[in-house]
A = this chain, B = another copy of it.
Amino acid sequence: MQDIILDDKLHEECGVVGVFSGNPDITSQLIYYGLFALQHRGQESAGIAINTGGKIQFHKNMGLVSDVMTSDVIQRLSGGIAIGHVRYSTSGGSEIENAQPLVVRYKNGTLALAHNGNLVNADSLRNILEDSGVIFQTSIDTEVVANMIARNANGDVLKSIKNVMEIIKGAFAFVIATEKQLIGVRDHFGLRPLCLGQRPDGGYLLASESCAINAMGGEFIRDIEPGEIIIIDENGIESIKSSKYAQQKSCIFEYVYFARPDSTIDGVNVYQSRYNAGRILAQEAPVKADLVFCVPDSGTPAAIGYGNELGIPYGLGLIKNRYAKRTFIEPSQELREEGVKTKLSVNKELVKDKVVVMIDDSIVRGTTTRQLAQMVRDAGAKEVHVRIASPPVTHSCFFGIDTPFRSYLIGANKSVDEMKDYIKADSLHFLSMEGLIKSTGSDRGFCLACLNGDYPMEVPKFD
């Protein structure tokens, strides 16, 4: 129950990091810190693959980074090149077999891959490979990619990666470790983020978000470009760009919800864009209120922005239990409401007798918003106005985000007015598409498919 009511968000499916280090003794620690900073991108499994004296060792398991990468594991694994992965997903199923990185031995060596994203032509590729006698042991796209790279790698793994990039379709940010190289790859639209950094000791870093570059003690250098392959080895950095098709289509939801506020992705600072979204939302849909507050924690910057724009005091109208991530008992029917309150409670004294604005970054099913609006009203608020710092989610994502079926998306099935009635808010407004784009301050392109159905490539039709 809690999941439906209190976790009404889209979910990122993975995070990746890579390290090419001058100091083999700290490499696995760096992977740990990088993955820890990306833990919000995937909590189901974690893993590391590391090149130890020309042999690639790995360790992966179900669980959080701190559960999987224990002191023992980190001490055991040393080496100069390593990659790491955290995984959330349900696509491919929730089994240890599907944990990443995937480490494979092929004719010319060993390869470790970690993948953030989703391929839309994986099944076709899988069928073609099976026709050639290939067998599969997992249900993840990564195994398809690994096979294609290995089959083409007649002594030149880079050429093979380049070829494979032209064949696979979808969203992908890969980090790859060979015996001698750390390689980063980003799809032609740059749908999933990937950036490069460097440590004071000269070591190079790759990560899904810049916050992980910081966490690994590095300076952010730049984002990997759409369609770019970046190769790091003893001789430094080389870049191969697939100029023909590349076109920036950064995932807009990284800014809306996924990424950590202290990350900067494709030139856009996440915190700043959220703050701007709140300000623009205030301009688009002002309300005369006594208090503005957010649904913790993701709505905070937008709520601050909204309040500042209109001069409404910002406060903590909802209090999040610091221990709310723990698993729960299932509440009995009589205590359903108490079950909800274990995660969030209303700051009664603050909201009582006030006209309040409740800000959230996005709405997926709408169930949480409805529940929270009711709790705020029960606590004595005079009016509850709801403002959402992004347009309604109306379409499924096929590029690595776990979206519910369209029939569950409140934005795909109700008008804003109907939603207002469902949520029982005194008013409800969503940020406009223009407002959202403006909030990023960027004129590069974005993938807005989940908000308007305009997919950057052909996608399956099963929804």
Contacts and interface: CB of A to CB of B under 8 A. Distances in A.
B262 A338 contact: no
A334 B272 contact: no
Contacts of A107: 127, 130-131, 133
Interface string A181-196: 0000000000000000
A26 interface: yes
Nearest to A70: B329
A261 B347 contact: yes
A287 B281 CA distance: 31
A119 to B, nearest CB: 17
Interface in A182-241: 211, 214-217
Contact of A211 (B127, B330, B345): B345
Contacts of A69: 329
B334 A26 contact: yes
Contacts of A330: 71
Nearest to A128: B107
A462 interface: no
Nearest to A272: B349
B33 A335 contact: yes
Interface in A258-282: 260-262, 264, 269, 271-272, 275
Q: Rank and list the top 7 A-B pairs by shortest CB-CB distance, nearest first.
A: A133-B151, A107-B130, A66-B326, A104-B135, A269-B349, A135-B150, A262-B347
Given A33-B341, A135-B146, A272-B349, 7 more contacts: A37-B345, A39-B323, A105-B130, A105-B136, A111-B135, A133-B134, A269-B349
